[in-house]
Amino acid sequence: MAQYVLSLDQGTTSSRAMLFDHEGKIAGIAQHEFEQKYPNTGWVEHDPIDILTSQLTAAVEVLARAHVRPRDVASIGIANQRETTIVWDRESGKPVYNAIVWQDRRTAEFCSQLRNDGNEEMIRNKTGLLIDPYFSGTKITWILDNVDGARALAEQGKLAFGTVDCWLIWNLTSGKCHITDRTNASRTLLYNIVEDKWDEDLLRLLRIPASMMPEVVWSSQKVGRVTTTLGLGDVEIAGIAGDQQSALFGQMCVNPGDAKNTYGTGCFLLQNIGDTFTLSKERMITTLACTTNQKLQYALEGSVFIGGAVVQWLRDKMQFFEAAPDVEKIAKSVDSSNNVILVPAFTGLGAPHWDPYAGGMIIGLQRSTEIGHIARAALESIAFQVTDVLRAMDSDTDSKMTKLRADGGAAANDMLMQFQADLLGVPVERPAILETTAQGAAYLAGLATGFWDSVEEIGKTRPEGQIFTPKVDRALAEKKYAKWQDAVQRSKGWNKEN
């Protein structure tokens, strides 16, 4: 009898594979980073083969480390970086261009044109999304318009589009399955989340042949078996979700009002709003959430493009320290940021600002400024951005959030979690297992294959996490937040001429 579920967590900077046992605990983990490519200002790309090989290597490695055979694995769940766009040749299986990453801003001008032509209201009413380079649709158009011969091949039905989940499944099944789930489809700017289908009007608007689109399935259902040649045996793929919806499910935010924030490369605050499609008044987006009953469920989402990635920037570009966890020690070397504010608008600003032209900025530097002040300001910038989103979301809903559930790698930082609670003025709960993105994908796959019987059964196995309660005076917190808002306004539109 199978004892584990395998979760493939394909992220922006690394691919991870995790084994979960019946208690929801991690029985094994393997991780491989891969190269980030920046070929032009505001451009971010990955080699799709790097994505695939790093993920397969991690999957095989975790089985070997845990001494687990493929027949001991009940099913595979996949969580993935969303919006990242891959187009490949159906016959050869080879990508026609690098993966254009969700952070990429090259289509900002095209998005401005679409807005100026009066398309935003129509697109919002169909997709729940705003027009922004973040989403997949304009990335596909760019590839078809800029890669030699791509548009002609697409119009002949010879090219396939997919988000990263789709690309992985295509390869895991040797090209037999060209599928994605509803949570990933809802991030493309092409999927009608009210009528539950690829939208002909949107495909026509962005000049994308419908033949490129994958079949859309539910997040928790059996979709196909892995081919044995890939070293994963004949295991069933039964869970698929965009990473943030997977984390929402992994945190068991299954009821309207439940909310979580994932502190990863970016930060993503999602709140379950139930089965009624509702548009935000505060420039949040409406997206599809994971379900196990094959009925549509919606969530409000605020997306922050640079969260934990600001720590990577300090490590790799500024060379302030050698390992990301070192940032907390350096930040603790000073009592405060000493009035330094860092706005990490390296790829523009996401919710609730939606300014693709905003530029990163450090303000408040003095002769006395040390690395510790900048490191502390970097950590604080993550919490400030989450506060921007939560306040906007509170304005959108009938009741204010009384608790925030936190997960993701940066949530391991105690200083960040405490500062977040102080800023918000509400408790922040960190789960015992931070890897809720991978855990959510495992839950979805396990529920589809009978490894777990119900959401209620899963809920009983979840250990209690740690709660950070607000400690600072509210007036002091508001004063600091006002400084942040001032700095953000100064950063807006900085890169418009570039």
Q: Could you tell me the mean pLDDT of each successive run of 10 residues in the chain, 498 residues long?
A: 91 93 91 92 94 94 91 94 96 96 92 95 95 94 96 97 97 94 97 97 97 97 86 90 94 86 88 89 91 92 91 94 91 94 93 90 96 96 95 79 86 93 94 89 95 88 87 94 97 86
Cα dihedral: 384, 385, 391, 392 (round 10): 160
244 belongs to an annotated ligand binding site: yes
- The set of residues, in sequence order, having a beta carbon less than 8 Å from that of 479 and lying 6+ positions away, is none
- The 3-state DSSP composition of the chain as helix, strand, coil percent (nearest 5) reads 35, 20, 40
User: 100 with 106: CB under 8 angstroms?
Assistant: yes
Angular region, 33: left φ>0, alpha ψ -120 to 50, beta rest: beta
- Using N-to-C axis directions, what is the helix angle for 164-172 and 48-65, rounded to 10°? 60
409 belongs to an annotated ligand binding site: yes
What are residue 18's DSSP bridge partners?
A: 7, 29
d(CA 335, CA 44): 36
- The set of residues, in sequence order, having a beta carbon less than 8 Å from that of 63 and lying 6+ positions away, is 6, 19, 28, 69, 70, 73, 232
418 belongs to an annotated ligand binding site: no
Task: Tell me the domains of the chain and their CATH numbers.
Answer: 4-244 (3.30.420.40), 252-430+465-498 (3.30.420.40)
14 belongs to an annotated ligand binding site: yes
357 belongs to an annotated ligand binding site: no
276 belongs to an annotated ligand binding site: no
How long is the chain?
Answer: 498
Buried b (16+ CB within 10 A) or exposed e, 139-166: bbbbbbeebeebbebbeeebbbbbbbbb
397 belongs to an annotated ligand binding site: no
Q: State the DSSP code for 391.
A: H
Tokens in use for 389?
A: 């989103």
**pLDDT value at residue 254:** 87
d(CA 4, CA 25): 10
**pLDDT value at residue 44:** 94
**pLDDT value at residue 498:** 65
Q: State the DSSP code for 191.
A: E
Look up tokens 């693709």; give the residue: 356
Q: What 3-state DSSP class applies to 186? A: coil
Exposure of 295 by Cβ count < 10 A (0-12 exposed, 13-18 middle, 19+ buried)?
exposed
Sign of the dihedral through C-alpha 300, 408, 253, 429? negative
Find out whether the peptide bond into 70 is cis, omega within 30 degrees of 0: no
d(CA 216, CA 179): 6
77 belongs to an annotated ligand binding site: no
Give how far Cα 398 sits from Cα of 38, 253, 258, 395, 401, Å. Answer: 42, 18, 13, 8, 10
16 belongs to an annotated ligand binding site: yes
Pick the closest to residue 275 from 219, 194, 180 (CA basis).
Answer: 194
User: 363 with 341: CB under 8 angstroms?
Assistant: yes
User: 407 with 367: CB under 8 angstroms?
Assistant: no
13 belongs to an annotated ligand binding site: yes
**pLDDT value at residue 273:** 87
Look up tokens 């994971």; give the residue: 290
243 belongs to an annotated ligand binding site: yes
Tokens in use for 100?
A: 């254009």
